[in-house]
């Protein structure tokens, strides 16, 4: 069975101008209990790779530059 | 990151703690304090800094037994009654006797508990009978404070390793565990003299009504791995039919939270703005009334704060919007819900296993020992009822000390290397297929059938249909699942734990042919409590590869309960005034 990809609007947003992942920061990726954030090979910035969010907020709270915002996932908003 | 690599390493330790949320760090800390020379390993599938149910801290203690406010005897009595009598009191009494010492120790770590103007702990009444609720003004700092202690004691922390199975020796005693790295799929065999399971609730069992897999009441990472591992190692699991079902903010699916707002004067109402329950403390009986009201013409149910002064509401918001589930403020903002103006629509959660709020779990005694020699369990997955966070800390401490002491007197047990090979094959099978069904679809289907067939009110024919559907999903999981990277591999293993838990929920619920614990085990064909036949624990375990159920007597009470007191929790509904 071939696998399709269904688009979703992800709840965690990263402000790339503020994100310092390209300077070696991995705080948001490290603290996520569900391990859904990654650093993009393309941009060097953090992004939400897997839409598996408990909207719990360590990524936003612990980000040293205030680059991360946790929104409520659309299905529950 | 995330590509699947091959690798197998082995480490040796004295005490292995699986799960770095609440009970786990305390167990590891206490084990290390007990045996400073011992190698204590704390294994966590996320990162201990921010993992588990209290990733963002906690707003207060729900079950503090503080001298001057309550005694261990009173507390043990309250919990026994709240659980319809099905309660081995020794572990509850042990908890109640030790938890104040743990509060003081946590206070010493820098976690503050609310004090009144006299400098005494400011305990509030939320339970039906006694006073046990103690607010935590800086409850957001809990994980950080714990982490500092673990570093200071030089506990060995292994993040991003998910334990998949326990290893046992020839006589069934514990030998260690197998784990897989969640970002590289490399394996780790951990040999240990004693193992403490602290893997949290089975919170991803039912499907939230939103349909979003991750919007569970419990931290969605708590997928029931501990129950599955204990089961496959041959441990007994108690009263799994006593589900966890909680009141919550509808759609947001987080606590409302009556324990915080109640002492300020908030309460639960129906859509007419009238109270319908006597007491906001969570019990199966209270949940039954909540469910009845939702189903009646007077639903939905609300948390009412809008009669309170704006400043009081400000104080409540300062807690609720900053600790435990801080995004709830954003949720209300999106919908324009201001506590000052509108009541908050509530609902009930999906089902799960969690002794934190109910009573089911891996069976443990007053030393946190399971029925497998050398294996301990603590926190939400162990069978001590109504544990909450302080129970996880206290019973984690009990487990850590006992496991460390035992480890000083025994040698490592040899495991069978064939078990490791078999486990690697099980874990990696889905990575070797070219195409198939991804784990998220298998998980969704399992959890949808959990809702369709296992949610109360429980019906025999439905639960049997559920079992048939679960068996079909298992076929697919074993023969047609596909996994494409290490992250998805973790999800596939979680989906397997969820399916194991679903099968246990069905078996346990079918076994107990009576109704008990209010909504948690409301069986339509057996609507009455039947103490003659069912005043006992129901125990599930794996024997010769099959799931079996049996009865286990409730241990004789150490705190007697008068006949007149036994039904206190049955009287939850507000009486109509003549």
How high is the pLDDT of residue B566?
A: 80
Q: Do B56 and A61 touch (CB under 8 A)?
A: yes
The string of DSSP codes covering B341-387 is TSPEEEEEPPPBB-TTTSS-EE---TT-B-SSTTEEE-GGGBS-TT-
CA–CA gap between residue B70 and residue B492 (Å, rounded): 45
Per-residue pLDDT tens over the stretch B203-253: 999 999 999 999 999 999 999 999 999 999 999 999 999 999 999 999 999
Residue A6 belongs to some domain of the structure: no
A1 in any annotated domain: no
| Fold of domain B247-348 | Flavocytochrome C3; Chain A, domain 1 (3.90.700)
CATH architecture of B418-541: Up-down Bundle (1.20)
Query: Is the CB of residue B229 less than 8 Å from the CB of residue B166?
Result: yes
CATH of the domain at A63: 3.30.70.20
C-alpha span between B30 and B152 (Å, rounded): 12
Distance, CA of B65 to CA of B395 (rounded, Å):
14
The pLDDT of residue B174 is above 50:
yes
Q: What is the pLDDT of residues B258-270, one digit of tens each?
A: 788 888 899 999 9
> Which residues of A fall within a CB distance of 8 Å from B216?
54
pLDDT of residue B279: 79
What sign does the CA torsion over B225, B231, B235, B241 have? positive
pLDDT in tens, B54-93: 999 998 898 999 999 999 999 999 999 999 999 999 999 9
Report yes or no: A5 at the B interface, CB cutoff 8 Å. no
Could you tell me the maximum CA-CA distance found in chain B, to the nearest angstrom? 73
**pLDDT beyond 90 at B105:** yes
- Mean pLDDT across B48-57: 94
Q: Assess whether pLDDT exceeds 70 at residue A56.
A: yes
DSSP B470-522: HHHHHHHHHHTB---SHHHHHHHHHHHHHHHHHHHHHHHHHH--S-BTGGGB-
DSSP 8-state secondary structure symbol assigned to residue B223: B
Domain layout of chain B by residue ranges: 247-348, 418-541
The predicted pLDDT at position B575 comes to: 66
Please check the confidence at residue B138 and state whether its pLDDT lies above 90: no
Tell me the average pLDDT across B501-510. 98
Residue B578 has pLDDT above 70, yes or no: no
Other CB atoms within 10 Å distance of the CB of residue B144: 15
Count the domains in chain A: 1
Closest partner residue to B214 (CB to CB) among A52, A58, A70 is: A52
CA distance A75 to chain B (A): 6
The predicted structure's pLDDT at residue B577: 45
pLDDT at position B568 over 90: no
- For residue A2, tell me if it sits in a domain: no
* The pLDDT of residue B425 is above 80: yes
Cα-based distances in Å from B95 to B243, B450, B490: 22, 33, 34
In chain B, which among 31-60 make CB contacts under 8 A with chain A? 46-47, 49-52, 55-56
> Is a pLDDT exceeding 80 seen at residue B257?
no
pLDDT in tens, B374-414: 999 999 999 999 999 999 999 999 999 999 999 999 999 99
pLDDT at B352 over 70: yes
3-state class (DSSP) for residue B460: helix
Residue B319 banded pLDDT, cuts 50, 70, 90: confident
The 10s digit of each residue's pLDDT in B443-490 is 999 999 999 999 999 999 999 999 999 999 999 999 999 999 999 999
| A9 CB within 8 Å of a chain B CB | no
Mutation test of the interface with chain B: which of A29, A55, A58, A73, choosing the one with the most B Cβ atoms within 10 A?
A: A55
pLDDT at B576: 56
Degrees, nearest 5: CA angle B232-B236-B242 = 110
Domain encompassing residue A65:
12-71
Separation between Cα atoms, residue A31 and residue B392, nearest integer Å: 21
The Cα of B325 is separated from the nearest Cα of chain A by a number of Å equal to 6
Q: Are B420 and B176 in contact (CB under 8 A)?
A: no
Q: Which residue matches tokens 């009986």? A: B285
Tokens of B30: 């206490």
Residues contacting residue B119 through CB under 8 Å, at least 6 positions apart:
none
ipTM of the complex: 0.98
Distance CA B228, CA B497 (A): 5
Flag the least confident range among A24-33, A58-67, B561-570.
B561-570
């Amino acid at each position: 069975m071939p696998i399709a990809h269904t688009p979703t609007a992800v709840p965690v947003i990263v402000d790339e101008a503020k994100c310092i992942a390209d300077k070696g920061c991995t705080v948001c990726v490290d603290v996520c209990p569900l391990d859904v954030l990654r650093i993009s090979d393309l941009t060097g910035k953090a992004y939400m790779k897997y839409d598996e969010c408990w909207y719990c907020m360590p990524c936003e709270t612990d980000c040293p530059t205030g680059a991360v915002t946790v929104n409520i996932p659309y299905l529950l908003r | 990151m995330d590509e699947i690599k091959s690798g197998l390493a082995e480490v040796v330790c004295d005490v292995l703690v699986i799960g770095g949320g609440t009970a786990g760090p305390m167990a590891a800390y206490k084990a290390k304090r007990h045996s400073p020379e011992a190698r204590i390993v704390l294994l966590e599938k996320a990162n201990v800094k921010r993992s588990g149910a209290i990733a963002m801290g906690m707003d207060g203690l729900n079950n503090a037994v503080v001298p001057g406010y309550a005694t261990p005897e009173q507390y043990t009595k309250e919990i026994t009654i709240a659980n319809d009598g099905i309660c081995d009191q020794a572990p509850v009494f042990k908890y109640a006797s030790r938890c104040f010492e743990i509060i003081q120790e946590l206070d010493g770590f820098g976690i503050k508990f609310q004090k009144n103007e006299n400098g005494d702990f400011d305990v509030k009444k939320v339970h039906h009978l006694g006073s046990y609720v103690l607010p935590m003004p800086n409850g957001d700092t809990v994980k950080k404070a714990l982490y500092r202690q673990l570093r200071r004691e030089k506990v060995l922390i292994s993040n991003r390793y998910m334990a998949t199975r326990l290893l046992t020796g020839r006589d069934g005693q514990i030998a260690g565990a197998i784990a897989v790295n969640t970002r590289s799929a490399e394996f780790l065999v951990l040999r240990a003299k004693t193992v403490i399971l602290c893997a949290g609730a089975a919170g991803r069992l039912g499907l939230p009504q939103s349909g979003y897999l991750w919007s569970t009441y419990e931290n969605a990472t708590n997928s029931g791995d501990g129950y599955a591992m204990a089961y496959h190692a041959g441990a007994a699991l108690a009263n799994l039919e006593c589900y966890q079902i909680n009141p919550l903010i509808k759609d947001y699916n987080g606590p409302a939270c009556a324990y915080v707002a109640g002492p300020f004067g908030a309460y639960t109402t129906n859509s007419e703005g009238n109270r319908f329950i006597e007491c906001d403390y969570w019990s199966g009986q209270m949940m039954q009334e909540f469910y009845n009201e939702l189903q009646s013409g007077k639903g939905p149910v609300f948390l009412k704060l809008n009669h309170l002064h704006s400043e009081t509401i400000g104080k409540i918001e300062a807690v609720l919007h900053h600790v435990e589930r801080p995004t709830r403020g954003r949720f209300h903002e999106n919908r324009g819900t201001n506590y000052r103006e509108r009541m908050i629509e509530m609902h009930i959660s999906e089902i799960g296993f969690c002794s934190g709020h109910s009573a089911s779990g891996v069976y443990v005694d007053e030393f946190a020992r399971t029925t497998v020699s050398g294996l301990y369990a603590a926190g939400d997955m162990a069978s001590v009822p109504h544990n909450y966070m302080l129970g996880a800390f206290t019973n984690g401490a009990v487990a850590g000390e006992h496991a460390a002491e035992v480890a000083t007197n025994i040698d490592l047990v040899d495991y069978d290397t064939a078990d490791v090979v078999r486990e690697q094959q099980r874990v990696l099978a889905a990575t070797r297929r070219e195409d198939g069904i991804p784990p998220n679809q298998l998980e969704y289907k399992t959890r949808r059938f959990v809702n369709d067939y296992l949610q109360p009110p429980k019906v025999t024919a439905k639960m049997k249909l559920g079992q048939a559907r679960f068996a079909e999903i298992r076929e697919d999981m074993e023969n047609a699942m596909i996994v494409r990277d290490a992250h998805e591999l973790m999800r596939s293993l979680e989906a397997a734990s969820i399916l194991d838990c679903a099968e246990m929920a069905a078996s346990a619920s079918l076994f107990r042919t009576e109704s008990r614990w209010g909504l948690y085990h409301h069986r339509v064909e057996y609507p009455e409590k039947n103490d003659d036949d069912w005043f006992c624990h129901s125990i599930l375990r794996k024997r010769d590869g099959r799931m079996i159920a049996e009865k286990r007597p409730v241990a004789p009470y150490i705190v007697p309960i008068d006949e007149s007191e036994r039904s206190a929790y049955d009287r939850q509904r507000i009486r109509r005034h003549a």
